[in-house]
């Protein structure tokens, strides 16, 4: 007797059960074994049945809700229980499902092999209803408890990460205000970075240098590009005019200071996103390097400069030029684009400049919305 049901082609073969009950999968090539186990368990569980290992894996792939336990016969034609378990252990969606092997009472050798293979427990033959029910209940309860703990841990981890990222970004905003710039500067830089990084990825010009899944990490990391300015004296940081050579040497130190701050953050603050902190370090240290090797602090040249920093260097110059600073008035969008084009192949990666100019209208709209020009 089978109590599971399937929706056909209209529902892509997805297998569903009663939503208020946990799922159990019984895998056995002997009909009477499945029938007995079904009768024992179907009052408290959605019981699904598979007559062999291949069908069991098909059903697991189709289930909208994974079973809380699998009762798995060892000796089956085609694919035995060990083969099914091996496939399950190799699938991240199935690896944590408790597997209770169906074994003969005198199968000591099989039981030892089952434990070594990763089986959780055994359902001995002939079946004792009380024993079957108790063992299944125990593992289902344990699975639900573990799932609950994992969900709670994941939630708390996300909250901790969000708090840490917010703290770091708040520090970056404080630095911007200390420079007499509005906090909107880092927001604009982040928005522009996301646009240009996405365009760079879509262009396929820099294949293998930046991963599509890292897009948000690069955009968030850009907010910290000038965090090292926290170590620059006010007399230099707030000077209302050009810096002399000695002052400029001090100002150049903000790149190195920023990279050291990120290094300390990496050691002491939990961020479950290693790429984010990697990009933070690259951008802080190298966003003032130049394509022709005449930048600072390490005089890197061309593709020696991390791609994330090459992106940020164009965006940072653009935003600095179109917005008023204590040492300069604002320039128009058109004037700024012309200056960036003049730096193509010398100050900036020429391919990034081309992509930047291609997206000039999107860039202008963001600046109009978030700009702090006076």
The per-residue pLDDT for range 29-73, each reduced to its tens digit, is 999 999 999 999 999 999 999 999 899 999 999 888 899 999 998
Please check whether residues 130 and 242 belong to one and the same domain. Answer: no
Would you say residue 283 lies in a domain? yes
Say if residue 188 is in the same domain as residue 66: no
Judgement on whether residues 249 and 104 belong to the same structural domain of the protein: no
Are 242 and 364 members of one domain? yes
- Which tens digit of pLDDT belongs to each residue from 240-275? 888 899 999 999 999 999 999 888 887 766 665 668
* 97: DSSP letter: S
Residue 33: closest CA among 126, 157, 139: 126
Q: Both 273 and 137 in a single domain?
A: no
- DSSP annotation of 293: S
Share above pLDDT 90 across residues of the chain, in percent, rounded to a whole number: 44
pLDDT of residue 238: 84
Contact 71, 120 (CB under 8 A): no
- Based on the domain organization, do 91 and 231 belong to the same domain? no
What is the maximal distance between C-alpha atoms in the chain? 91
In a domain, 99, yes or no: yes
Q: Do 147 and 207 belong to one domain? A: no
- Phi/psi for 306 (5° steps) reads -55, 140
What integer best gives the mean pLDDT of the chain? 84
Residue 138's domain comprises 5-151
Nearest-5° Cα angle at 48, 46 to 50 = 170
Q: Domain count of the chain?
A: 2
Q: 137 and 184 share a domain?
A: no
Q: Is residue 321 part of a domain?
A: yes
In a domain, 174, yes or no: no
40 and 126 Cβ atoms separated by less than 8 Å: no
Please check whether residue 266 lies inside any domain of the structure.
yes
Say what percent of the chain tops pLDDT 70.
Answer: 87
CATH of the domain at 282: 1.10.3210.10
| pLDDT in the model for residue 295 | 95
pLDDT tens profile 106-157: 555 566 677 777 788 888 888 999 999 999 999 999 999 988 988 888 887 7
Rounded CA-CA distance 299/288 in Å is 9
Same domain, 238 and 346: yes
Please tell me the predicted confidence (pLDDT) of residue 180. Answer: 59
Instruction: Give yes or no for residue 101 having a pLDDT over 50.
Output: yes
**Alpha helices in 269-370, H assignment, sequence order:** 274-286, 307-322, 333-342, 350-358, 360-370
Question: Same domain for 234 and 311?
Answer: yes
Same domain? 189 vs 72: no
CATH number, position 89: 3.40.50.2300
In the three-class reduction of DSSP (H, G, I as helix; E, B as strand; rest coil), residue 350 is classed as helix
d(CA 46, CA 16): 9
Q: Is residue 343 part of a domain?
A: yes
pLDDT at res. 71? 94
For residue 159, is it within any domain?
no
In a domain, 337, yes or no: yes
Helices (H), 16-52: 31-41
* In a shared domain, residues 200 and 315: yes
What pLDDT is recorded for position 20?
77
Whole-number pLDDT of residue 240:
82
Name the pTM for this structure: 0.61
């Amino acid at each position: 007797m089978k109590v599971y049901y399937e929706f056909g082609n209209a529902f892509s073969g997805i297998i569903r059960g009663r939503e208020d009950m946990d799922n159990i999968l019984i895998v056995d090539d002997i009909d009477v074994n499945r029938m007995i186990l079904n009768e024992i368990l179907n009052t408290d569980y959605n019981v699904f049945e598979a007559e062999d290992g291949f069908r069991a894996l098909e059903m697991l792939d189709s289930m909208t809700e994974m079973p809380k336990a699998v009762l798995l016969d060892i000796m089956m034609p085609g694919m035995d229980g060990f083969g099914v378990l091996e496939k399950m252990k190799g699938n991240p969606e199935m690896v944590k499902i408790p597997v209770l092997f169906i074994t003969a009472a005198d199968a000591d050798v099989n039981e030892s092999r089952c434990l070594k293979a990763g089986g959780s427990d055994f359902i001995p033959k002939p079946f004792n209803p009380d024993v079957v029910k108790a063992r299944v209940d125990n593992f289902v309860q344990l699975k639900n408890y573990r799932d609950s703990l994992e969900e709670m841990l994941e939630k708390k981890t996300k909250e901790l990460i969000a708090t840490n990222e917010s703290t770091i970004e708040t520090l970056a905003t404080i630095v911007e205000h200390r420079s007499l710039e509005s906090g909107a500067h880092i927001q604009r830089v982040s928005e522009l970075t996301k646009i240009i990084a996405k365009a760079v990825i879509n262009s396929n010009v820099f294949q293998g240098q930046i991963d599509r899944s890292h897009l948000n990490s690069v955009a968030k990391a850009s907010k910290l590009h000038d965090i090292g300015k926290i170590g620059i004296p006010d007399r230099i940081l707030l000077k209302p005019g050009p810096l002399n050579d000695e002052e400029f040497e001090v100002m150049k130190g903000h790149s190195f200071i920023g990279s050291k701050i990120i290094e300390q953050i990496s050691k002491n603050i939990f961020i479950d996103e290693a790429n984010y902190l990697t990009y933070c370090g690259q951008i802080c240290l190298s966003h003032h390097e130049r394509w022709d090797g005449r930048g600072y602090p390490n005089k890197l040249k061309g593709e020696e400069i991390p791609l994330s920093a090459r992106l940020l260097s164009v965006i940072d110059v653009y935003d600095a030029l179109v917005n008023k600073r204590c040492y300069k008035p604002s320039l128009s969008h058109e004037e700024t684009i012309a200056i960036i084009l003049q730096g193509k192949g010398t100050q900036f990666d020429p391919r990034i400049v081309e992509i930047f100019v291609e997206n000039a209208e999107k860039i202008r709209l963001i600046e109009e919305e978030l700009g702090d020009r006076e």
